[in-house]
Amino acid sequence: MKPERPCALVTGGNRGIGRAIAEGLIAQGHRVVIGVRDLEAGRAVAEEIGADAIRLDVARYDDDALSAAIAPLRGVDVLVNNAGVLIENSIIDDASGFKASMDVMFLGPYALIRAVAPHMRAQGWGRIVNVSSGWGSFAQGLGGPGAYGIAKAALNALTRTLPRDLPEGVKVNAMDPGWVRTRMGGEAATRSPEEGAETAIWLATLPDDGPTGGFFRDRSPIDW
């Protein structure tokens, strides 16, 4: 059953698309917690937008550490895996950069999903949103730096597969925010953070008959 005021955890929620998602969910009546590596800076942002903040480094995905980090929340109803890194080095020459990309954008999100799934399963309701990219789409050619595209493609594969192991009331979807004016996207990008966040907010607030296991941009399905 959907909680009266769902608790939403947004990783990397202190700036850019993550902050816009957090603000959008607050406007929808959610209790929002942003997961950040720098807790002092995260608390300052959280105070500005009316959220809470916890220290959460998704690259450190030890099960016990993650469970301890989210334990004070008393259950996460909505998880938005937004944290990301863009490492432009060759995947042949920079194995550490490849590993960091996979840790932050695939293995960390997977571990967080495992951490929140028991609560969602117990209540028969939950929403998981994986912030992906067109660069993680085989249909679009896996563009961009190799490590980034591979990590996002793996996140897409996880999204596609997870509905087999989640109860019907728990929905998981991926989304492509487009080219967004953030520290990662740059000032020349064509979309604002709010425009990039809009589909994630929609997926986080899907009704019971909404989709699961899909990949979306501007609320419309796109090819994997």
Structural contact between residues 206 and 41, judged by C-beta atoms closer than 8 angstroms: no
Is residue 15 helix, strand or coil?
A: coil
Residue 219, SS3 per DSSP: coil
Strand ranges (E), 60-162: 78-81, 126-131
> Residue 69: enclosing H or E segment and its boundaries?
helix 63-70
Residue 148 designated active-site: yes
* CB neighbour list of residue 9: distance below 8 Å, 6 or more residues apart: 33, 34, 35, 70, 73, 76, 78, 79, 80, 112, 116
User: What are 81's strand-pairing partners?
Assistant: 130
What per-residue string of b and e applies to 130-163 under the rule 16 or more CB within 10 Å gives b? Answer: bbbbbbbbeebebebbbbbbbbbbbbbebbbebb
Q: Identify the active-site residue in 106, 148, 215, 216.
A: 148
> Alpha-carbon distance 218 to 224, whole Å?
15
Which active-site residues does the annotation give?
Answer: 148
